[in-house]
Amino acid sequence: MDVRLTGLSGALFDLLPPGLEPAYFAVTLLGDTVVVTGLLTLLYWAYRDRTATLTAVGYGFVGFGAIVALKGFFAAPRPEVALIAAHGSGFPSGHALGATVVYGGLALEHGWLEDRRTAAGVAGLVAAVALSRVALRVHYLGDVVVGVAVGVVVLLAARGLARGIPRYTFGVAVWLAVPALYVTGGSADAWGVLGGAVGGLLASLYVSAAPELRSRTEGAALVAVGLPLVGVAR
Sign of CA dihedral 166, 172, 175, 179: negative
The yes-or-no verdict on residue 83 having pLDDT over 70 is yes
Q: Nearest Cα to 104, choosing from 31, 210, 201?
A: 31
Q: Which of 17-31, 63-77, 203-217 has the lowest mean pLDDT?
A: 203-217
Give dist(CA 77, CA 69) in Å, integer. Answer: 16
CA count, 13 A, side-chain hemisphere, 31: 31
pTM (predicted TM-score)? 0.85
Mean pLDDT across the stretch 180-191? 94
What is the tens place of the pLDDT at every residue in 131-147? Answer: 999 999 999 999 999 99
- pLDDT of 185 > 80? The answer is yes
- Given a contact cutoff of 8 angstroms between Cβ atoms, the answer to whether 54 and 166 are in contact is yes
- The pLDDT value recorded for residue 232 is 40
Asked whether residue 10 carries a pLDDT value surpassing 80, the answer given is: yes
Q: What is the pLDDT of residue 212?
A: 56
**DSSP sequence for 44-113:** HHHSS-HHHHHHHHHHHHHHHHHHHHHHHHH-PPPPTT-SS---S--SS-HHHHHHHHHHHHHHHHHTGG
Residues of the chain with pLDDT > 70, as a percent, come to: 88
Q: Tell me the CB-side half-sphere exposure of residue 40, using CA atoms within 13 A.
A: 29
* In the predicted structure, residue 154 carries a pLDDT above the cut 90: yes
Q: Which positions ≥6 away from 182 have C-beta within 8 Å?
A: none
Mean of the pLDDT values across residues 89-112? 94
Of residues 197, 202, 233, the one with CA closest to residue 68: 197
Of 82-86, 157-161, 196-200, the poorest mean pLDDT is in: 82-86
Q: Mean pLDDT across the stretch 197-208?
A: 82
Residue ranges covered by each domain of the chain: 17-209
Query: Quick one: pLDDT band at residue 43, thresholds 50, 70, 90?
Result: confident
